[in-house]
Amino acid sequence: MDDLSTIRSEALGAVEQAADLAALDAARVAALGKKGSVTGLMKTLGALAPEQRREFGARVNQLKSEIEAALDARKSALSATALAAKLVNEKVDVSLPTRPEGQGTLHPIGQVMDELAAIFGEMGFSWAEGPDIEDDWHNFTALNIPPDHPARQMQDTFYLPPRADGTPMVLRTHTSPVQARTMLDKGVQKMLADGGSLRIIVPGRTYRIDNDATHTPMFHQVEGLVIDRTTHMGHLKGCLVDFCRAFFEVDDLPLRFRPSYFPFTEPSAEVDIGCSWKDGELRIGAGDSWLEILGSGMVHPNVIANCGLDPAVYQGFAFGMGIDRIAMLKYGINDLRSFFDSDLRWLRHYGFSALEWPSLTGGLGR
Ligand code: PHE
């Protein structure tokens, strides 16, 4: 019987002294594990006379319960201490000043795209996009530039391996293929048949084989397209006058519409804005010089027919301009290549706050 009280005091002592959960588990194994001291006592029961076995068995069981209760109690105590220590060590001082975060800026091209969305959005245009890798038909043929047309030479681009079905592929030379993609859209055709009016702008990347201070092999254009039954050249003029005045933020900005030629418009006009040069610096507004900024015209009946619409019913206008170019003019940046150098110092200087969304009422630029 002495055995039992020794085992009891050893087991309870080990539980009491366990300094962490690992030591406590070791104490549990030492008493109640397969080879533990209490388990050892259980094993001796079989050899006892029935009378003795009942009495001794009850005491061993009681000891077992006692040790289990002690283990539970110690476990709760250790967990509480561990939590308290963790709370002390991981204290967060909410009164510390915050660390300043580096603030990024919007690239002028993104800024100008947002400005375009603000201005044309007010006029009821929506934003459309198309693929950079375009097939020859959408980039040229649909737009009244058949193979061997001399206009193809002016838009020399990067030719990609043809598709499996033989379709020749190019990096698009302008955003105009999205005109064709949009007019061919069944939903758009239904909307037009129901008497609606199509108005889209298409900002995006374009490609040509060109590289100097004002040309890069990749650049950005925005296309505009309006198609319905009644839109005429007067609407084209009004729309572009309003756009240029809003964009350059010069209320009486003079515009000049010069006859021109594009295969996909007839008649066609290039648009110049008034400006002057003082000490080599450009001022946009009334002056004695003109700056060409965009191409435009009434959509050619062949293009309307190529896109599955009846040119006797539908008409409208289109325009296209370089986003990089109007960004350079508006914000006084003179080397186009710097747009794509990813120089953070340049971006900090020419970039825009990401928190100020351009709008006609709240202001467009800086
Ligand atoms: N796609 C023409 C170009 O890249 C621009 C343009 C678009 C002209 C629409 C007229 C109408 O040069």
Segment of 23-37, 190-204, 347-361 carrying the highest mean pLDDT:
190-204
For residue 231, report the distance from its CA to the centre of ligand 1, in Å. 18
Give the total residue count for the chain: 366
The closest residue, in CA terms, to atom 4 on ligand 1 is 174
The reported pLDDT for the residue numbered 245 is: 97
Band of the pLDDT at 176, cuts 50, 70, 90?
very high
SS (H, E, C) the chain: CHHHHHHHHHHHHHHHHCCCHHHHHHHHHHHHCCCCHHHHHHHHHHHCCHHHHHHHHHHHHHHHHHHHHHHHHHHHHHHHHHHHHHHHHCCCCCCCCCCCCCCCCECHHHHHHHHHHHHHHHCCCEECCCCCEEEHHHHCHHHCCCCCCCHHHHCCCCEECCCCCCCCEEECCCCCHHHHHHHCCHHHHHHHHCCCCEEEEEEEEEECCCCECCECCEEEEEEEEEEECCCCHHHHHHHHHHHHHHHHCCCCCCEEEEEEEECCEEEEEEEEEEEEEECCEEEECCCCEEEEEEEEEEECHHHHHHCCCCCCCCEEEEEEEEHHHHHHHHHCCCCHHHHHCCCHHHHHHHCECCCCCCECCCECCC
The reported pLDDT for the residue numbered 366 is: 62
For residue 31, report the distance from its CA to the centre of ligand 1, in Å. 89
Band of the pLDDT at 148, cuts 50, 70, 90?
confident
Q: Is 295 in the pocket of ligand 1 (CB under 6 A)?
A: yes
pLDDT tens, position by position, 150-165: 888 777 888 999 999 9
The reported pLDDT for the residue numbered 2 is: 56
Question: For residue 7, is pLDDT > 80?
Answer: yes
The reported pLDDT for the residue numbered 212 is: 84
- Per-residue pLDDT, averaged over 351-366, amounts to 85
The closest residue, in CA terms, to atom 10 on ligand 1 is 296
β-bridge partners, 359: 363
The reported pLDDT for the residue numbered 154 is: 76
pLDDT tens, position by position, 75-100: 999 999 989 999 999 988 899 998 88
Q: Is 319 in the pocket of ligand 1 (CB under 6 A)?
A: yes
pLDDT tens, position by position, 278-299: 988 899 998 999 999 999 999 9
For residue 221, report the distance from its CA to the centre of ligand 1, in Å. 9
Mutational test site, ligand 1, from 138, 145, 176, max ligand atoms within 8 Å of CB: 176
Q: Closest ligand 1 atom, CA of 173?
A: 4
Tokens (6 digits) for 329: 């003019």
pLDDT tens, position by position, 33-76: 999 999 998 888 888 899 999 999 999 999 999 999 999 999 99
Mutational test site, ligand 1, from 149, 152, 208, 264, max ligand atoms within 8 Å of CB: 264
The reported pLDDT for the residue numbered 215 is: 87
pLDDT tens, position by position, 96-140: 998 888 888 999 999 999 999 999 999 999 999 999 999 999 999
Q: Is 296 in the pocket of ligand 1 (CB under 6 A)?
A: yes
pLDDT tens, position by position, 191-246: 999 999 999 999 999 999 888 888 899 999 999 999 999 999 999 999 999 999 99
The closest residue, in CA terms, to atom 5 on ligand 1 is 320
For the CA atoms of 210, 213, 214, 219, what is the dihedral angle to 10 degrees? 60
For residue 332, report the distance from its CA to the centre of ligand 1, in Å. 24
Q: Is 174 in the pocket of ligand 1 (CB under 6 A)?
A: yes
The three-point CA angle 26-31-37 to 5° equals 130
β-bridge partners, 314: none
Mutational test site, ligand 1, from 175, 262, 304, 319, max ligand atoms within 8 Å of CB: 262
Q: Is 125 in the pocket of ligand 1 (CB under 6 A)?
A: no
Q: What is the pTM of this model?
A: 0.74
